[in-house]
Amino acid sequence: MSRFRILTLFSLGVFGLLIAYLYNLRTAMSSIVRTDDVAKLGAIVVGSGLAGLSAASQLISHNIPVRLLERAAKPGGNSIKASSGINGAPTKYQPVVDDAFYADTIKSAGKAMAALTAHREGLISNLTNSSSGAISWLVDNKGIDLSKVAQLGGHTFPRTHRGAGQTPPGFSIISTLLKSLKESPLFHLQTSCTVTKVLQTDQRVTGVEYACEDGEKQELHGPVIFAAGGFGGDAEGLLAQYRPDLAGYPSTNDPRPGTQPLLTALGAQLVDMDLVQVHPSGFVDPANSASPLKFLAAEVLRGEGGLLLINGKRFINELETRENVTNAIVATAPTSELPKQWTVQLVLDEGAYGAAKSHVDFYIFKGLMKKATIADLGEGALESIQQYASAAAGTQADTFHRTSFAHWALKDPAPDSVIYTGIVTPVVHFTMGGVLISNKAEVLKEDGEKIEGLWGAGEVTGGVHGGNRLGGSSLLECVVFGRTAGDQCAEYIKGGST
């Protein structure tokens, strides 16, 4: 063997030993970090929607440093798009004695309550009982305007809060929380960084693996709050797996993969993955009617007095739950197969328009709604609107048993009466299923035990809404369970459990 070959083999051997040494050193280091330094490193929050920001705010209030990793280039997730508002009762803006929120939520959850009954009742009780405190935290502690209250579908009383000005509730809540977090030296946000794995050692979550724009895998160590949202935008992945029948439906959610598999890899229990909310009203944009991504026609438009027509006829109490309104629409023939769409007219009079002015003006600006007359709606509409107006005026009972007409004011509809209208269709909107959590926001395993060092909040979790989420209850769940996750994680770190 030549001297050159011997030298080459020797160098390769040394290089191999060096690699093995570095690998062992890294493993040893990560275990040292896990046991000794986590408290100094603080907590990791995955996802910058309302659940993640609520958790981060709470951690910071306990003086715990937060590293927040966000997949998208801009923070805010689906939360920033929320347009109807957040539920709470009782609150200073909701004067009605409202003891029905819990019962409304149970009723809306429907048949799903038959499984894990006591556990779900506990989560719902926590959600509804904490709603008053959640609104007061946002209003009194964070200074967010939520002074307007509307009644959405499935709610016995008005309890969905939004601001009185032009800014939609999702945007004002997210931008305010982010601004206040960014003022803290303890808060560190990294956008365009996707968490690819949750790390675990000795049955305890110790951090995450993630990759940013350069694609290089990195690790971050600390206990983890997982708030990565739902899988409504994962059309080819989890949605296709659990609800193949929804193939072709448009969605209000930007395309992105679901993240529950990162948690089932640790043994997390999944619930209700097949329970997907199809919202009855996504706008069909006349300029791009085949787009699979739709703008939501906020439920508050119906809540403030709007009605729905198919072929000029009303077909349901518009304040029924989203599930029931959607079922009534999809029981009729679709007007397009790809995307799967129906043609439903949403109609507001001047009174309802006045109450939802900021929404409608925005939709008119986007070309999704227009000011028109009843005659423009086509055959049958006048008669249907006359009946609706009589029910709103109290001169006859409503055919569909609607009892709240909010700000509808038109008493004598005529062909030239002014209305505001747009075409809507059912859209994949929200995923009720996800990882099961406890009332302490701990992510639970199949055997019901918690996964040490891991909490979950927001749409990535399941079990809180059962078969149908009430409008306004998702933002609420983000605040309630996000804040709980923050408190619990802070306690875990301070207690030295890390």
Ligand X SMILES: Cc1cc2nc3c(=O)[nH]c(=O)nc-3n(C[C@H](O)[C@H](O)[C@H](O)COP(=O)(O)OP(=O)(O)OC[C@H]3O[C@@H](n4cnc5c(N)ncnc54)[C@H](O)[C@@H]3O)c2cc1C
Alpha helix (H) residue ranges in 50-206: 50-61, 101-109, 117-129, 131-136, 169-182
Residue with tokens 């409608």: 360
Using CB under 6 A as the binding rule, whether residue 149 contacts ligand X is answered as no
What is the smallest separation between the CB atom of 210 and ligand X, expressed in angstroms?
Answer: 7
Using CB under 6 A as the binding rule, whether residue 227 contacts ligand X is answered as yes
CB-closest chain residue to ligand X: 49
Q: Is 311 helix (H, G, I), strand (E, B) or coil?
A: coil
Q: Which stretch binds ligand X (CB under 6 A): 66-74, 124-132, 369-377, 394-402?
A: 66-74
Q: Is 435 helix (H, G, I), strand (E, B) or coil?
A: strand
Q: Is 185 helix (H, G, I), strand (E, B) or coil?
A: coil
Phi, psi of 429 (to 5 degrees): -130, -40
User: Where are any strands of DSSP class E within 242-297?
Assistant: 270-271, 276-283
Distance CA 333, CA 343 (A): 10
- Look up 155 and say whether it is catalytic: no
Residue with tokens 């329970």: 275
What is the smallest separation between the CB atom of 457 and ligand X, expressed in angstroms?
Answer: 7
Please identify which residue in 43, 220, 225, 296 interacts with ligand X, judged by CB under 6 A: 296
What is the smallest separation between the CB atom of 72 and ligand X, expressed in angstroms?
Answer: 4
Looking at beta carbons only, is 209 or 398 nearer to ligand X?
A: 209
Q: Which stretch binds ligand X (CB under 6 A): 83-91, 213-221, 331-339, 359-367?
A: 83-91
Using CB under 6 A as the binding rule, whether residue 72 contacts ligand X is answered as yes
Using CB under 6 A as the binding rule, whether residue 489 contacts ligand X is answered as no
Using CB under 6 A as the binding rule, whether residue 155 contacts ligand X is answered as no
Please identify which residue in 58, 131, 253, 341 interacts with ligand X, judged by CB under 6 A: 253
State how far the alpha carbon of 264 is from the alpha carbons of 258, 271, 400, 445, 464, in Å: 12, 11, 44, 8, 19
Q: How far is CA 340 from the centre of its chain?
A: 23
What is the smallest separation between the CB atom of 333 and ligand X, expressed in angstroms?
Answer: 26
Using CB under 6 A as the binding rule, whether residue 77 contacts ligand X is answered as yes
What is the smallest separation between the CB atom of 29 and ligand X, expressed in angstroms?
Answer: 24
Phi, psi of 402 (to 5 degrees): -75, 135
Contact 102, 125 (CB under 8 A): yes
Q: Which stretch binds ligand X (CB under 6 A): 79-87, 339-347, 388-396, 413-421?
A: 79-87
Nearest to 493 by CA among 28, 41, 32, 182: 41
Using CB under 6 A as the binding rule, whether residue 473 contacts ligand X is answered as yes
What is the smallest separation between the CB atom of 459 and ligand X, expressed in angstroms?
Answer: 4
Please identify which residue in 475, 480, 489, 490 interacts with ligand X, judged by CB under 6 A: 475
What is the smallest separation between the CB atom of 213 and ligand X, expressed in angstroms?
Answer: 13
Which residue out of 302, 314, 359, 402 is catalytically annotated?
A: 302
What is the smallest separation between the CB atom of 474 and ligand X, expressed in angstroms?
Answer: 3
Looking at beta carbons only, is 126 or 253 nearer to ligand X?
A: 253
Cβ neighbour number for residue 122 with a 10 Å cutoff: 14
Residues in contact with ligand X, shown as a per-residue x/- string from 30 to 49 under the rule CB under 6 A: ----------------xxxx
Alpha helix (H) residue ranges in 294-380: 300-303, 322-330, 350-355, 357-365
User: Where are any strands of DSSP class E within 8-55?
Assistant: 43-46
Looking at beta carbons only, is 262 or 374 nearer to ligand X?
A: 262
Which residue out of 243, 279, 469, 483 is catalytically annotated?
A: 279
Q: Which stretch binds ligand X (CB under 6 A): 16-24, 105-113, 359-367, 458-466?
A: 458-466
Using CB under 6 A as the binding rule, whether residue 229 contacts ligand X is answered as yes
Phi, psi of 422 (to 5 degrees): -155, 160
The CA-CA-CA angle for residues 280, 282, 283, to 5°, reads: 135
- 125 Cβ partners below 8 Å, 6+ apart? 102
Using CB under 6 A as the binding rule, whether residue 51 contacts ligand X is answered as yes
What is the smallest separation between the CB atom of 89 and ligand X, expressed in angstroms?
Answer: 14
Total residues in contact with ligand X, by rule CB under 6 A = 40
The CA-CA-CA angle for residues 200, 202, 203, to 5°, reads: 65
- Look up 302 and say whether it is catalytic: yes
Contacts (CB under 6 A) with ligand X, residues 376-435: 430
Pairing of strands 450-456, 224-226: parallel
Looking at beta carbons only, is 305 or 472 nearer to ligand X?
A: 472
Phi, psi of 132 (to 5 degrees): -60, -45
Distance CA 480, CA 159 (A): 16
Q: Which amino acid appears at position 276 of this protein? A: V
Contacts (CB under 6 A) with ligand X, residues 160-219: 170, 194-195
Catalytic residues: 279, 302
Q: Which residues bind ligand X (CB under 6 A)?
A: 46-52, 69-72, 77-79, 81-86, 170, 194-195, 227-229, 252-253, 256, 259, 296, 430, 458-460, 472-475, 478
